[in-house]
Structures are given as C-alpha cells and as structure tokens.
Structure 1
Amino acid sequence: MTAHDRATGSSMSRAGLRFWSAVLAVAVFLVDVLTPLEGAVAVLYVVAILLAARTNRRNDIIVAATGCALLTVSAYLLSHDLEAIASPAVRAVVSLAAIGIATLLALQNYAATSRLAAQARLLNLSHDMIFVRDRGGVITFWNKAAEQAYGWPAEDAIGRLADDLLQTRYPDRRETIEATLLETGRWEGRVEQRTKAGVALTVDARWALQQNHLGKPIGVLETHTDVTDRVAAHTALVQSEQRYRRMFDASRIGVVEEDWSGLRTALKSLDTGEAGLRDHLARNPDFVRQARRLAKITDVNPALQKMVGANGPSAFIENVDRLLGENDISFLGALVAFAQGEPFYEGETELARLDGSRVPVLFTITFPAAPQGDRNVLAFVVDITERQQAQDALLAAQAELAHAARVATLGELSASIAHEVNQPLAAIVTSGQAGLRWLRRDVPDLNEVAATITHVVSEGRRASEIVTRIRAFLKKTPAQQAVLQIGEIIEEAASLVAHELARDDVVLTIEAEPGLRPVRGDRVQLQQVLVNLLINAGQAMSDQPGARTITLRAGAVDGERLAITVQDSGPGIMPDDLPRLFDPFFTTKDGGMGMGLAICRTTVEAHGGQLSAESTPGAGATFRLTLPYSQEHTPP
C-alpha cells in the first residue's frame, strides 16, 4: 500500500465506505420523498458520491453516481406528477447536475490519484533512494530503497527534516546550493549522510525542483545513489597509484614500464610448425628485431634515466630497441618466457648509454596475467658496473695471488729439499774434514782415509736418494718398497742426527724391544721421517735450560702393527696448535717452513701407517708412529 492509500483509507475500510455511502443515499431519498421539505435535498447525494470516491475505486464512483441519479428521479416521480413543470422539476434538474458534476470531479480526482499512485509504485521499484521534501525541507515521500538504505521506515521519516534526519554534509554552502536549485531547477553533487545505525554513506545526489501551475516552487524531489563502495575503491586505487608512483620515482633500481600487447598479437600469428618456439625464433632473427620494436616503453623512472645518461623519459618513450644493442640475445629468452606464460624472466645484459658507452646490468622482467597485463610489463634493472669492476679486480688479484703462491710454494719446496739433504751434506763435510786430517799426518793413515772417502760417497748417494724420493713424492710416484728391519732404520737415523743432537747437548735414549718383526717400505723415506722427528725434538729444547732428553721407543702394539714413539722433555705443544700441527706451511718455529711434519705424515700414510702427536704444555711432546708389519714374514 502506498502512502496515499494509507492516508485515504486510514479512517475506515472500503467496505465501510460503500456501506455508509449507500445508507446516506437511502436516507436522502427517504427525506426527499416522505417529508414536505421544499429544497434541493437531492443535492446531498453528492456527499454519498464523495464517500464512495474515497474507496479509490472507479467502479464504486460510477455505481454510487448512477444510484444517486436514479434515486433523485424516483423521488421526483413519487412526489410530483409530470403534467406541469414547476419549481420541483427545476430542483430535480439541479440535483442531477450536482450529481453529474460531483461524479466528474471524483473521476478526475481518481485519475490523478491513480497516476500519482503509479508514479509512487515506480519510485518504490527504483534502486536509488528517492524522497520528496517541501520547501521547508520536511519529508513528504520516502521510497522503499530509502527505507532499506537509511534504515528508517516511511512512517518515521515522513514529517522529519531531511538534513537533520540524515545529518547531510554538503560539498558547498547550503545557501549556495539552494540558490543554484532555484535558478536552474536542478542540482547535482556528492554529499555525505548517515544511516539510522550511524554508518556513513557517500551518495551522488540529484535534485529536481517541483513547481505548481503558477511556476511557484512547492517541493524538491531528491534522488540519491549510494557510491560509498565506489568512492572507497577509487580512493584505494588513487592511494595505490600514488604509492606505486612514489616507489617508481624514488627507487634506486631502474624500472621500465612497457606495453607488450603488440608482441602478443605478433606471437599469435607465428606458425612455428614442428619446431619449438625458441628454435623458430633463433632461425628468424628478423622477427626478433621486429618484436623488439613492438615492445613499447611507456614510462622510465629517474634511476634508469640516470643509468643511461638521459635527462628525461622522452628519450625512451619509443621502444626497447633503443636500449639494447644489435647483438643482444637476452631479448630472445624474454620473448620465449613471455610466449610460454612465465611470470618473470631474469638475465644479464648491457644497456646502451646515450653517449655510446655500455652499462652492464642485471634485469628481471615481470609479466602480469594476460591479456590485461600486456600493457603493464615491468623491467627492473640493476647497474652492476661496480660489481663487475670489483670482480675483474678480484680475478686479477687472484691471479697475482696464485702466482705468488706458486712462487712461495716453490721456495718452500726448495727449502724443504735443502732441509732434507742437510744431514747427509753435513756428514759429507764432516767426513771430508776427517779425511784431510788423516792425510796431513806425518804418516798418512790410508785405511782411515779410505774409510772416510767411502763414508763421503755413501752420504752423497744418500743425499741423491733423498732428492729422488722427494721428486717422486711430488709426482705421486709409488714408493720403493722393501722388507726392512726397524732396528736398522732407527740406528741409521740416530747416527745421522748424532752430531746435531750433541751440539745442542741433547741425550738420545733408544728403547727397542728385541725380535721386532720387519716392516715393508722405503728405507730412505722412513729414515727421513725419524730424522725429522728427532731433529724437531732437539730444536724444541734448544733454548731450554737443564736436562734435554729424547726417548725413542719401538715396540709391538698388537699382532698387526709396530709402534715407534719419539718423546722429548721440552716445553710441549700449545693446545691451539695441535689441530694444525700437520698442516702444510704451519710452523711454530722461528724461520720454520712448515713442510717437515706434513711430509712426514704423508710419507707414513703412504706406507699404510699413522702419525699423531700429543702433548701437555710444560711436560714435553710425544709423536707416535705406527706401521703395519710386513706380510711376507711370519712371527717365529
């Protein structure tokens, strides 16, 4: 039911109106017929017609009018004859005229009311909030959409001031808006209002001024469209665009925005046949060059402009071909990734500066979802000039370092060889001096001279064998294996270091178990291992006051291995140095080369044994060497 229906039908129902209209018509008839009143009593039938008209039914008006007319004629015929036309007949005609006029007016009113009701129903069907207010701002009509959007039913809204009810906030002064409305008859703008629940709405308002037949303003029709979500989305979009623009302009990474929609079309037109896309493109470089020109640059951030020496984006708003060189192959990979629907492509290339120089860069091209994303392809570019320069400098430094290391290693190896042959050379010198003394006697002792020369020759050969073994070791040549008695190896090593130990007042004690099984190995190499261990032990105690002793023990560990230990009474080894003791070039001695122990461990391991060290600072150091027994002899 519309507001008009509720207003006209609020006092009584349609059935009640029909009943009272009929009662009134009958009452007027009876008064007209039964009473001697001389007057236009039949005019009262107009009231019955007006009652019937309040039902808002056209048929009710016609039925009531017809009935009243029939009752008027009937009353006249019953009260008067038709022989003479006198004043009663005139009154009857007047009554019929009044009934006719009232009927016409009622029907016109019904038609106008129907039109208004139809318009109200249409307004209720609208999705926009529509209400009508008078010139004072009081609401006189409130449609269904307004009820749903604002939360107030029509009964609560009608009769209220619109601005107070909706707490409307205007974009301009209210007086200015009203002046525009009165001048043009219309006004449009965006206002903010609140619902019954207090929720803020943003609406697009359209006002239309209603005027009477004299052109006087009588009301305003307001149509409102809720654009809250649209405004919020637009605001978010604007903020996002501003945020993107700030990042785009402030980024220190070069960013290029490109339009690849033309590329999409060109790729779809390709007929690659049985060959893959990459192979097809590789065989058609002309298409790749054309594709580079189709990748339009739409924007370039300041970082990239600076990178290539440009003063603005206008130098780039053409195509990718301006940035890349003629022989650049990175675009081919990007083109394949784009055609295959990859989300991004990474690579390394060079950009052409405006002055003709080249800038090495790393880049990542992102491909948003097609097809809308084809117009927003982003390329992120990082200048790696400094990194490349640093890498070139690093490579040069590494080359220099490698050369220096080779030179140093050569020097260390030379020193190590000199260290290893020092003992036989010292023995040769000693023997040569002894031979000269025997020859300078008044009666030379030729036998002693011969023995001395023999010793010189033996030591010379031993020095040569040491050099040969070291060269073989450096070439990873297999050692010369032989069955050896460990007691003989120990005696020979002790005799070789006897002179040097005696010079440092070091006492060597040898404790070897009798009947030790032989081992298999290289005599010279094993001699040098023991010589190095004994020399190192003696040098460790060279600056130590008091007794200086070295104890060399040899004994069986189990049925498969032989153990030799070299224990000194020196200061020992620091705990931090123990893990690195056998590393090449690590030394704890002033002027040491750090090669002796490393060569010793490698030599022992080449013989299938192990070499380890243990020490308690202040209580000396102990080196333990284990070797497997030779399998060619069984124990007695």
Structure 2
Amino acid sequence: MTTASNSPGENDSEAKRALQIIESMPGHAWSADATGRFTYVSPNTLAFLGNAREDLNIPDGEDEFGWRRVVHPDDYDRVAARWRHCLETGDHYDTEHRLRRADGVYRWFRNAGRPSRDSQGRITQWYGTTMDIDDQKRAEAALRDREREFSQLVDMVPSHLWRLTPDGEPTFFNKRMVDFLGLDVADTDRPGMSRLDAIIETIHPDDAAKFRDALNRCLVTGESFAMRYRLRRADGVHRWMSSRAEPLRDEDGRIVQWYGLCQDIDDQVHAEEDLQKSERRYRDLFHYMPIGLTQVDASKLVPLFKELRARGVTDLQTYIDEHPEFLPRALEALEVEEVNRHTIKMFGARNAEEMRGPITRYWQPGISTIRRSIEARYRGEEVFQEETKVARIDGGVIDVLFTTARPGAVADKSLVGFIDITERKKAEEALRDREREFSQLVEMLPSLIWRLSPEGEPTFLSKRLRNFLGTAIADAEKPGMGRLAAIIEGAVHPDDADSLKEALNHSFVTGDRFSKKYRLRRSDGVYRWMEGSAEPLRDESGRIVQWYGLSRDIDDQVHAEEALSRLRQMQSDFAHMNRVSTMGELAASLSHEITQPIASARNNARAAQNFLDIQPPDLGEVREALACVVGDSDRAGAIIDRIRKQMKKAPPRKECFDLNAAIDEMIALARSVTIEKAVSVQTRFANGLGVVEGDRVQLQQVILNLILNAVEAIKAVEMGPRELLISTQQDGTEVVVAVRDTGPGIDPKQLERVFEAFYTTKPSGTGMGLSICRSIIDAHGGRLWAEPNEPRGAIFQFTLPGAEARS
C-alpha cells in the first residue's frame, strides 16, 4: 500500500520490497477481494498445496469458494461458514483447519484475515496469513493424552490423593477419595464452615483434634505432614489411614500448594494389633509354660552350613566324623538369647542373664544330642527330639526331654524345649525293677500264667507254663487255626476240650469272668487237673484290652477230694452202723416202750366193747375209750418212726430245726433205758434258743450216743445220786449242748483218747461211737470235747454254729 504523494516508480519499488518481505516469512500469505476470491497467494503456499492460484478460485455447485479439494472434509463446512460470515459482517476471520499437502498429507493450520476498507468503510480487500500449527496440535494432543493418563493414574492409585491451598483449604480430591468419603471438594462448601473443618468432621472424634493440631503446625512451619488417624467412610465405618503431605514451593521458596496422600492401613493396623496380641501370647506362653523354653541364636551357624554346602557336603554326620574340629565351631555358633522362668529354675540360675551365652556351658553332658540336632538341622528337619542329660549351673546333672523346633532348616532362630524327666527316669527305673521283680514273682508262682488279646489269641505264656506244655505245644501254629485253638487241640484232654472252648468263647463274647476245671497234658504226656480262671482288663471306655489268666494245678487236690469223698462215705457207713448197733442195744427196752402203748390200746378197745354191750350203749364212754386207743397207737407209731429214722441209711441232709425239740425226742427214745437203770434225767433248755442248721438225724445220733454212754457210766455207781442233766445255752452266735452225768468220771489223761477210733473202756464196746460223734460235729462246723464234772462224773459238750451265723 502506498501514499498518493509517491510517484509511480516509488510505489512500485515499495510494493516489491513488501512482497519480498511477505514471501520471505515462514508462514503463508494471501489476499482476497471483497467477494472472497483470492487475489494473491504466496508461492510457498502454492508449493505446499501443489495448485495454482487460479485453481483456488474455481467454484462449482457444491464448492462455493473452490477450496474443497484442499481443505479436510471434516473441516470444510465449518471453515466455509466462517468465511461466509466474515465476508458478510466484516468480522475478523480466524480459524483452525487442516490443509492437504501436495503429497496428500493433511496438516493443521491457523488461518487469520483482516479486512481493508476505503474511506467510506467499505471492504476493498482481505489480507491474511496461514500458519502451520500441525506440530503444535500434535504436542497439544499428546499433552491431553498425558493429562488424561495422569488423571486416570491418579484415580487408579490405591490411595487417596488430595491438594490444599497454602492456608489448608482443599482444592482437589481424586476419585478414590471422593468415592470413599461420599463427597467431592465442592460438597465441603458449607455456610459458616471452612472446607478443612468440613473434612475434619469425617475424622474419628478421638483423632480429630490431633489431626487439626498436626496439620496447622505443618501449615505454619512448612514441615512435612505425617499422621495415622481414622477416617469415616461413606457408609459410616471408620478405617485407619496413614496420611502424608508435602508442600510445593515456587522459585522464591513460597508454598503454593500442599499435595497429600492417604493410604488405607486399616487391615494392616488390625493385623499389627493381632500380631502384637500374638506376640504377647507367645511371650506369655514362653515365660509361663511349665516346661523349660530357650531361644537360641543360630545366625552364626547358617554361614557355616552354606560354606559346607558350597563345598558339596551332603552328609554332615560323616563330615564331622572325618573333621571333628567342625563340631566345636558349630557349638560355639549357637548362643542362648532368651530363657523362660522355668528354665532358670530348672538349671538353678539366679536370672536369665546367667543363662545367656554359648550353649556349651551347661549342655556338655548331652553334647552327642546337640550334635545330632545340628545334623538334623543340616538335613532340613524342622523338629528334633531326644532324651538326654544336661548340667545345672551348680554342676548337677538332670535328665531332660530335649526338643528343638524352627520355622525353616536355615532359619537363624531355634526354640529349644526342656522337660525335666529326672523323676520319670527314676520312676521308670523303679518300674523296671518292679517289672523284673514281678516277672521273677510270676515265674516263682506255683501256677501257670497267661495273657490273651481281646480276641483270645495268646500274647504271653509264663516260663512255667511253657515248660509244662513243652516248646512244641507252646509255640504250636497250624494253618487256618489260631494259637489258642492249636494249644487246646494239642494239650487239653479230649473229654474237656469242647467245654473249655465253649466257656472261653462265652467270656470273649460277653466279657464275663472265665472259670473252668479241665485236664491239661504235661510235656511228658501225663494229664493233670487244672483250675483255670481269667479276668478282662478294660480301658477307660470299658473296652477289653487284655485277658489275664491263671491255671492252677489241682490234680493232687482233685485226687484228695476223691479220697475224702470215699472217706466221708465210710464215715457215713460207720455212723449208720453205729445207729443200728445203738438201736440193737435198745431193742429190749424199745420193745417194752412199744408193747406198753399197744397193751393199753388193747385194754381201751375192750372197754369200748363193754360199753357198747350195755343197753342202751354208753356212747360217751365208748368215744372216750376209742380216743385213748388212738392216742396209744400214735405213741407207739412215734416210737417206731424214731427207730426207723435212726435205722434208715440215707445221705446227709441239711435243714434248719429246733435243737431243744430234737433233744426231747432222743430223751423219749431212751426213756425205757433210763427208767430201767434208775437214772434221773433232767433238762435245762435255754429259752429262745436259735435254730441250728444241719443233718437232724446225725445230730440226734450224737445226742443219743452221749445219753446212752452217760447211762452206762452211771450204772457202775452203787452209792450216791444217779443223775443225768442235759442243757442248752446260747453263746454268741453258737449253741452249746452239755450232757452231765454222775458216773465215776474219766481219767483226765484219757479225756482226748476217748475220741480216738477203737479206743473203749467198755468190755463189749467197739470204740467207734465217740469217734463218729466227733466227726459228725466237726462236719457241722462245731467242736466236741469232754471234761470232769463236779463233784464227780463227766461232762460231754459240743457247739454248733447258729443258722444265722452260717448264712
């Protein structure tokens, strides 16, 4: 553009200089007329587009300005509309769009144009520039991408990020913090309250004041902020947070922002609390456990192990055998760090400090155990246990159960446990002594001892039993047959085997006690009678765990009992013979006793006949006479019944009876003899005498024998009283019967001999009567003896246990 005063030559020169300046600029220049048609386009623009200026001014039906082939399709409508608007209004033209380069690549440009007006204000020309901003656009896009990525990163960080102004007002919360609190920064704007105060309301009441004080101090001093506190979640639950904040400063050191981070440590805090509780429990267990516990530092041992492994050592036991110098090094590498109270007491130490240090100070007696525990550690075993000996501080040695445990084979700590088993060891030694004594006692017992499993299989046979059976039977095993069945088949008498098995099986099934007599074959082939018994041993739940049995040799006893049975039969026969003999002696007197009531009955019968012959018959007298006949017959029958009982041979029979009544019957049976011999018989029976239990006939035989012996003795006395006193009395649980006579008596030296068999003082006696009487009384559990009577005569007494005493 030139002024009017310039000459044409000067104007052209100015125009050329201006054009040179425009075309040397790094941008693109253009001009257009008032209708928007280009009047000038800089050469570099045409070169970029690959078009001539005229090509840019060729409109068509769909291309109003002729730009469509160079402007990006996505930008064309917007750019054309803006250009049209500027042409109509004269507004400044300013837009960004993409132009296609000659090689077909689109690049971003900023297009700016200003109108030139004449003196009347009409637009005469448009002048503009087009600047390549593609690199800027790409940089801005990259920046936006980075900002978006950063924003996503901030929201994805598993922590709460926040920003404060220099005076502490929140200006930013990341999404995670917004979600946690249930509110954003804008939600903290409340009337009469700062944003910071609104946030402090979400902190636990017990932590809020501390938080405010700590943050205010940091805002004043500029120091870093760090604190743990509980923050309320949107659902009302408080969770522990670890919060830190740092100030951002400008070049002058002034704080322009505070950037903070809150990390949720609630799980960590509770885990720490649990860990602390666990540590406290461990400490309590460690110190108060009723066993010795020691914590050993093995950190110096670990390098020694690594050195050996690096050298290819796999078997530490062999290595120590070949290199014994290694063991002292390994022992010195183990040091006691901590001991509990029980260990201090067990080792007799004053305090824990006295126990700390190398283990060799007081583990010397059990050094071989320590060696084996080190070898086990090298093999990777985490637990080692062994009984050993250790030394107390005072030098004494105690037995302990030594146990080491560690979390890993190369862990640098070990927990060592000591259980004092000194008393147990003494008890075990005493038990072994008792077992040895018991074993000797078992072998010395004159019985055969055995033990069976719950199912009945032998688990132990005493030496005496094995010797009795012989090895072939004791160790007998037959296919398809248990050992017990094999022993029964080989050693038990065939007649007893089935019943023995049946009895044993019954006990195995029911758990009842076993008891059985059977014959067992000795190793020499002789069968001997055994009395076997067994009891089950049960556990706490009542289950049978063992059967303990004993077989007692009763062969001699069985044969003795057989002989005794034969002897008793002989005694019974002798007693019967004695009774028969006695009845024979009484025959004459008894015949008088029987004929008297018979004669009386005959007379009474005749009298009854006479009373019947009277007219009219005297029936009352007849009735009375017949009653007398019946009485006389009964009296004769009773005498005959007594004789029959005494004469009858029957097996002994026990019954309870009235002894006084039984004695009365024998006095009545001997009445004719006592009357004939002019002997006065008196009785002195105890009132309420208890009943006795025994064989009535045998005991009456004793009484009758004593009565007849007394009458025989009194017969020899010509002068003085001829008296016989029979008495009974209760003496505790026993009944005492005494027969006292006034005969010549018995020489005191002969008082015991009169009871001997075949000893008699009678010219016609057998000497068996008193011997049989004593045998009968002995068999009834009583005692028969003789002693002098005062002033003369003899007393024969015997005792019998009362029926209540026998029960």
TM-score for the superposition, normalised by structure 1: 0.47
Higher relative CO (Cα under 8 Å, sequence separation at least 6) belongs to 1
Higher gyration radius (CA) = 2
Please state which structure has a larger fraction of its residues in strand.
Answer: 2
TM-score for the superposition, normalised by structure 2: 0.38
Please state which structure has a larger fraction of its residues in helix.
Answer: 1
